[in-house]
Structure 1
Amino acid sequence: MLNAEPLKGRHALVTGAGSGIGAAIARTLAQGGANVTLAGRRRAPLEELASDIGANCFVLQGFDVTEPDAITTGLAAARGTFGPISILVNNAGEAPSAPFEKTSAEMWNHVLSVDLTGVFNVTQATLADLKAHSDGARIINIASTAGLTGYAYVSAYCAAKHGVIGLTRALALELAKKGVTVNAVCPGFTDTPIIQHSIGTIMQKTGRSHADALAELTKSNPQGRLVQPQEVADAVLWLASPSAASVTGQAIAVSGGEVMAG
């Protein structure tokens, strides 16, 4: 019989929890029994999500993954509410697009700072908690199919997500005997506010209809659709559960067959 609350009593920290994939992950981990810290920069969406989830969550606004002081302060508040962290989901990220020749050093540095160094910052700050957890701690990095292949016009994002997968694999080996598993989930194009913004940009720049712009983004997906945030969240729930204790160092594509990771 499956355990309806496989994460009962665990403390999960989800960065970038305010919307899209992060919100779906936070909601799903809470449904799995975890106490969830909702970390993000903006209070309003976090408060709205907390109202939806209920009592077993804590709102941590002003949590900027690029600012070590903000991370330290935030983690102290989270631990004061739910105790040490045993599940870390590094989800915060940004994906601005530009041709490589128009990608400024500022854009490049910002994307790597948020999408890659942010994972480093938060993971290092929570590592003592994770290593001390005696019942299988988890680090789950939300990467992207962009970390497994290349996409035009998002060179900084591709570089950062490839870095996240490399970091995932290195940490998995370092922490294997500590009882900590480290995995990456790699969504394809997912139905989030970021993708809806991208569709709007395509429509504005090309004059295409919404249907045609959507078709442009889904043409590489053999299923011919956008991935749903809940599908990504369900993969995270499994990786966080006791059932995935022997799964580590993996980059799991949730992409309708667009990318088949070997």
Structure 2
Amino acid sequence: MSGLPHSPHALVTGGGRGIGRAIASELGRAGATVTVLGRHRGMLDDAVATGAAHFAAVADVADQPALDAAIAEAAARQPIDILIANAGTAESAPFAKSDAALFRRMMDVNFMGVVHAIQAVLPGMKGRPYGRIVAVASTAGLKGYAYVSAYSAAKHAVVGLVRSLALELAATRVTVNAVCPGFTDTELVAGSIDTIMAKTGRSRAQAIAEFARHNPQGRLVTPAEVADTVLWLCGEGASAITGQAIAVAGGEV
């Protein structure tokens, strides 16, 4: 596996914690200059202070003007070669109780946040000798899960965007791919585990097992496993890999 070109600039949305932070750390170890972007200044500053990233930018990916401004500031420091569109959120509800506002929230962050970030970086990236766009989708973008129809719809949209945009950019040096983690050991899943415990009275081990049962390996995926896949897609040796949605899910898909 060939590595990254010399000192590319990587922007990681949702980079303050979980999968995003793991990706930022992995790209930094591989030689990238890394800017993490997110809503919570404290988490981002901690990522910089602990060496997981070099710079931080504060913006909500659902707020296009704020995101555009933050990305422009990051690109002025160094042109952006790698975009990891990782920011996301999840809410669960039966479809009958999933109102239009819930669908809009899921689409605004999980899908339009990806669209906004790509639109902000792509004009400059297309003029560079190398470019990588990786969206962190989900196995929910490849299959369905009960009680998360809005989230699943948004992640399916991300996969469709990746496949279409990859074709548009196939004649350039920019590749566009998605990674689709299964249930991963992150703060987001931890919150869902707490909800299951509160609503059902199950133990933490039982609640974790509810998620792990989807994975044929019988466990949660680790953020490091997702980050390693992203690093490979960003390497020069993956220049022929584009338009793909790669499941990191222990064989679930």
* TM-score normalised per structure 1: 0.94
- Equivalent residue runs for 1:203-242 within 5 Å: 203-242=197-236
- Provide the rounded CA distance (Å) in 1 between the counterparts of 2:214 and 2:28: 33
Q: Please report how far the alpha carbon of residue 52 of structure 1 lies from its aligned counterpart in structure 2 after TM superposition.
A: 1.2
Q: Please report how far the alpha carbon of residue 144 of structure 1 lies from its aligned counterpart in structure 2 after TM superposition.
A: 0.2
Q: Please report how far the alpha carbon of residue 219 of structure 1 lies from its aligned counterpart in structure 2 after TM superposition.
A: 0.7
* SS class of match (1:177): coil
| Alignment deviations for residues 159-202 of structure 1 (CA, whole Å, 9 cap, x no partner) | 00000000000010000101110000000000000111111111
- Equivalent residue runs for 1:25-174 within 5 Å: 25-53=23-51, 57-61=54-58, 63-81=59-77, 83-134=78-129, 136-174=130-168
- Equivalent residue runs for 1:240-255 within 5 Å: 240-255=234-249
Runs of 4+ in 1 over 2 A off after TM superposition: 5-8
- Provide the rounded CA distance (Å) in 1 between the counterparts of 2:212 and 2:93: 20
The aligned counterpart of 2:20 is 22
Q: Please report how far the alpha carbon of residue 6 of structure 1 lies from its aligned counterpart in structure 2 after TM superposition.
A: 2.5
Structure 2 gap ranges (5+): none
| Alignment deviations for residues 137-164 of structure 1 (CA, whole Å, 9 cap, x no partner) | 1000000000000001111110000000
Identity of paired residues, percent? 53
CA contact (8 A) 1:147 1:161 kept: yes
Q: Please report how far the alpha carbon of residue 7 of structure 1 lies from its aligned counterpart in structure 2 after TM superposition.
A: 4.3
Q: Please report how far the alpha carbon of residue 229 of structure 1 lies from its aligned counterpart in structure 2 after TM superposition.
A: 0.2
Over the aligned positions, Cα root-mean-square deviation in angstroms equals: 1.2
Q: Please report how far the alpha carbon of residue 8 of structure 1 lies from its aligned counterpart in structure 2 after TM superposition.
A: 3.2
Q: Please report how far the alpha carbon of residue 72 of structure 1 lies from its aligned counterpart in structure 2 after TM superposition.
A: 2.0
Q: Please report how far the alpha carbon of residue 126 of structure 1 lies from its aligned counterpart in structure 2 after TM superposition.
A: 0.8
- Provide the rounded CA distance (Å) in 2 between the counterparts of 1:17 and 1:86: 16
The aligned counterpart of 2:176 is 182
Q: Which has the higher contact order (CA 8 A, sep 6+)?
A: 2
Structure 1 gap ranges (5+): none
The count of aligned residue pairs is 253
| Alignment deviations for residues 37-72 of structure 1 (CA, whole Å, 9 cap, x no partner) | 110011001111111117x611102x1111121122
* SS class of match (1:167): helix
* TM-score normalised per structure 2: 0.97
- Provide the rounded CA distance (Å) in 1 between the counterparts of 2:131 and 2:114: 16
CA contact (8 A) 1:90 1:142 kept: yes
